[in-house]
């Protein structure tokens, strides 16, 4: 228990949790007040999930990268666990809204977008470090907002706009799965790249 508490604190999980929950709550309240539709659309779902994922991106790395590679602790298992639990924590508040009249739905889209974006972030963390891992998910999510990106039957468009395809679009699901699996594997096996421990504040 003590290890877990120290780990959560060293990864600054509390602010990330606060940001992700607050974002979901804010979008939900805005939709409740200003929208007549019962379902929050795929673009808003993507933006909400993206902010949550970016908030948790900071928790993927610690203050000292070298410490996270010491062999006396089984880091790969912990890193994998961290990602899986993070995905669950991001989906949980969105899932909670399904009992209300204004909901993040359908569930398949919420889960697909969360695991896909989280995988992309983990992949970024493994390649360029946690501090810059939000750039790819942010860019892809914003690009999905372009007016000509829409639900389509063309596989190229389904991949480019995978975030806003309806549930059950094969190419979009495959794209999200590939991102999730690659990210999970890369981050689990490799972790963040080792930078020299300088006198910098940890990324928060």
Partner 1 sequence: MMGRILRIELRRSAAVGVALLLLVIGAMALLSSTQGFAGRWMQLAVSVRAGLLVLWPLALAGGAWLGRRDARNRVDELFASTGRPRWQRILPTAGALAVAVVSAYVLLLLVGAGWVLPTADYFPVAAVAVAAVGALSLVAAAWVGMAVGRAVPRLVTAPALAVAGVALAALLPDWMTVSAVVDDRPAPAALLLTPVYIGGLDDFQTVTARVNLTQALWLAALATTGLLLLGAARRRGIALAVLPAVLGAAVAVPLMPTGGYQAAADDPGAAELVCDDAGLQVCVARVHAALLPDVAGPARQALAMMAAKLPDAPSRAVEDRQVASWALAGQDRTPTPHPADTIVFATPTIGSDGRADLSGDYFLPLLLEAAWRQDCGDQAYDRDAVLARTVAAAWLTGEPPTPEDWWDVEERALVDSAYRTLVGLPQAEQQRRMAAARDAALSCRADALGAIVRGEIP
- Least distance from partner 1 to the Cβ atom of residue 115, Å: 18
For position 125 contacting partner 1 by CB under 8 A, the verdict is no
Closest distance to partner 1 from the beta carbon of 16 (Å): 8
Binding status of residue 45 toward partner 1 by CB under 8 A: no
**64 binds partner 1, rule: CB under 8 A:** no
Shortest reach from residue 34's CB to partner 1, in Å: 8
* Among residues 13, 45, 58, 105, the one that binds partner 1 under rule CB under 8 A: 58
Applying CB under 8 A, does 9 fall inside the site for partner 1? Answer: no
127 binds partner 1 (CB under 8 A): no
Nearest to 6 by CA among 85, 63, 89: 63
Q: Do 185 and 123 form a contact (C-beta atoms < 8 A)?
A: no
Contact 121, 181 (CB under 8 A): no
CA 67, chain centre distance (Å)? 24
Does the protein bind partner 1 through residue 134 (CB under 8 A)?
yes
| 88 touching partner 1, by CB under 8 A | no
C-alpha torsion sign, points 161, 91, 123, 80: negative
Alpha-carbon gap, residue 73 to 42, rounded angstroms: 40
Span interacting with partner 1, options 45-53, 105-113, 171-179, 181-189, rule CB under 8 A: 45-53
Are 91 and 52 a contacting pair, CB within 8 Å? no
């Amino acid at each position: 228990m003590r290890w877990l508490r120290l780990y959560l604190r060293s990864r600054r999980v509390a602010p990330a949790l606060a940001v992700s929950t607050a974002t979901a709550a804010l979008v939900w309240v805005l939709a409740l007040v200003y929208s007549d539709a019962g379902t929050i659309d795929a673009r808003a779902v993507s933006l909400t999930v993206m902010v949550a994922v970016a908030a948790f991106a900071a928790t993927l790395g610690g203050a000292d990268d070298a410490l996270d590679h010491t062999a006396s602790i089984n880091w790969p298992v912990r890193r994998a666990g961290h990602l899986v639990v993070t995905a669950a924590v991001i989906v949980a508040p969105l899932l909670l809204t399904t009992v209300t009249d204004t909901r993040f739905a359908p569930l398949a889209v919420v889960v697909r977008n969360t695991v896909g974006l989280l995988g992309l972030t983990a992949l970024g963390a493994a390649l360029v470090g946690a501090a810059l891992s939000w750039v790819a998910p942010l860019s892809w999510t914003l690009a999905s907002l372009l007016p000509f990106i829409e639900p389509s039957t063309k596989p190229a468009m389904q991949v480019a706009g995978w975030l806003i395809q309806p549930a059950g679009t094969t190419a979009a699901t495959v794209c999200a799965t590939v991102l999730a699996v690659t990210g999970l594997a890369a981050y689990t096996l490799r972790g963040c790249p080792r930078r020299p421990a300088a006198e910098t504040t940890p990324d928060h």
